[in-house]
Chain A
Amino acid sequence: MSERDDVKKGAEQSVVARESLSALMDDEANDLDLARSLRGVDESDALRRYWARQQLYRSSMLGTSLPHGAIDVSASVREAIVSEKRAYANPLVSMAVAASVTVAVVLGGQQALLLESQPGNAITAPGEVVQIPGSGAVQASFAESSLPQARIIQTTPVTEGGPKDVYLNRTAYNRLANERFESLSRLHNSTATAASITPFVSRSTDPRTTP
């Protein structure tokens, strides 16, 4: 292969990596995009700068500009992914991993804002993640129009005890939370009558969630 071929191949790889990175920032990345993006960022300063520029651009479009060059979150993102290689086999889990990348990016942004002593307003960042003051990063769950959809809420992992597979753990807990929603709705609707003002027309349990 000639030097010219090498240059051409490198350029093609760069384009592909950028496309994967864009997909990641749009929360549309698949496993391949994820791996390609992380490898690309790891190997290429140019790609890392491209990522930072895109983050700034998107943040400014959302009205939440981050201080330029204040933080490079790619290391924490890589760490989040590398520690979870086993999860890639499960497409649902890999989606969770992709989401966690976004969360890591947002948390990076928060640190940057803190460094700049910005007021603690809600922070919006690529991936539609918002920060509620005084809480962890939470998936922006409520941006529905007239009829909201059920959804799993992105939570930050709880760390008690030793190391664990946090993303598999989170999937298991989300499933548990969903099961408890179905089995405990009626109990809650019954106990909640102790609230003196019940803003709902009547407390009832959807027949579809009745155990």
Chain B
Amino acid sequence: MLAWAQPERECDLEQELVAVVEALQQSHENFTFSGTYLKESAAGREFISVAHSAGGEQGRLEYLNSPAESAIQAVWTPSGPRVSACELNSMYALYFQQGPMVAGRPTGLLELRPRDGLRLGYRLAVDTESGLVLRSEVISDDGSLLERHEYAAINVLPAEATSAAEQQDVTLDYLDIVGLPLGYRASRARRFEERALFMSDGIASATVVFEPLPEGLAPGEGAVRQGATISYSRGSVVAGNQVLITVIGEIPLPAARLIAEAVRVAPSGGSQ
């Protein structure tokens, strides 16, 4: 059924599962694609045109129905260190089966069901040939759909053989922060090292930003969710200073709370 290469097995997961997780992560490096997808979230419905060259750091994206200047955006493609299916399996129950046709292409359906309340669930229709995600659904802990993307049309071309050979392994320097939710690791946010931290379990991710607490505001907390993304702001006293910590990302509220609590203690720095 699948065109993906079969990697070595690392654990007791089915080989197809291991292969699809690998293929998904390599897809932006190995394939050039362009197409139009529909994004549905709390913000409404948007038709978005996207173009990406294999191995490119950035792709181009255009909100077709928006008159705003920012309707055309350069978007970063996934570029973090690889995570294996076995690593994911400790945080999510993984399921794989034959998927639906999406944009005229056959897919495999990869489901990631969180094993705890500290991450969201995902249902991904993955292109059988390229490993690109052609449809994604983000699901809350109670099974409700938070956000959905689905290609209406897409052209996919394999990259030149040399592109893949030039790939380099990516590493992150993880920070030693005690009290993070299980499976989450912290690093300094690339391109925003001085301002922000980045937290991820390999699939769920959040950015943490620090700033002085607005004058006159007592410690407290507030949160708003739009689609799959939560913004959680918390005023805290850290080392005698009043600080506003904002956690923004595709994570549940309990995880945002735990992250905000954990980062109140200054990270010791260094890699693990």
Contacts and interface: CB of A to CB of B under 8 A. Distances in A.
A138 interface: yes
Interface stretch (B8-16, B44-52, B157-165): B44-52
Interface residues of A, number: 68
Given A132-B254, A135-B117, A209-B43, A194 B200 contact: yes
A118 interface: no
Given A180-B246, A194-B79, A143 B144 contact: yes
A85 B66 CA distance: 45
Most buried by B among A134, A146, A158, A187: A158
Interface of A, secondary structure class, is loop
Contacts of B142: 122, 130, 140, 142-143
A143 B145 CA distance: 8
A173 B217 CA distance: 9
B151 A158 contact: no
Contacts of B113: none
Contacts of B150: 201
A191 B219 contact: no
B43 A150 contact: yes
Most buried by B among A147, A173, A199: A199
Given A148-B145, A195-B205, A196-B82, A176 B117 contact: no
B209 A194 contact: no
Interface residues of B, number: 98
B224 interface: yes
A129 to B, nearest CB: 12
Given A192-B205, A197-B21, A149 B42 contact: yes
A201 B39 contact: yes
Contact of A202 (B44, B50, B204): B50
A58 interface: no
Contact of A184 (B69, B151, B209, B257): B209
Nearest to B207: A188
A153 B149 contact: no
B218 A141 contact: no
Interface stretch (A25-33, A74-82, A161-169): A161-169
Contact of B222 (A155, A194, A209): A155
Contact of B221 (A146, A151, A157): A157
Contact of A155 (B25, B117, B209, B221): B221
Interface string B16-38: 00000100110000000000010
Contacts of B207: 184, 187-188, 191-192
Contacts of A166: 220
A188 B248 contact: yes
B231 to A, nearest CB: 4
Contacts of B48: 201-202, 204
Contacts of B55: none
Contacts of A136: 257
Contacts of A200: 133, 136, 138, 147, 149
A158 B246 contact: no
A194 to B, nearest CB: 4
B221 A133 contact: no
Given A134-B117, A169-B218, A209-B43, A201 B136 contact: yes
B196 interface: yes
Contacts of B189: 187, 191, 194
A180 B219 contact: no
A207 interface: yes
Contacts of A151: 42, 224-225
3 tightest Cβ-Cβ pairs between the two chains A and B: A173-B222, A142-B140, A181-B231
Interface of B: 21, 24-25, 37, 39-46, 48, 50, 52, 59, 61, 63, 66, 68-71, 73, 75-83, 88, 112, 117, 122, 124, 133-134, 136, 138, 140-142, 144-147, 149-151, 172, 187, 189-192, 195-196, 198, 200, 202-207, 209, 214, 217-227, 229-237, 244, 246, 248-249, 252-254, 257
Interface of A: 122, 130, 132-136, 138, 140-144, 146-153, 155, 157-161, 164-166, 169-178, 180-181, 184-185, 187-210
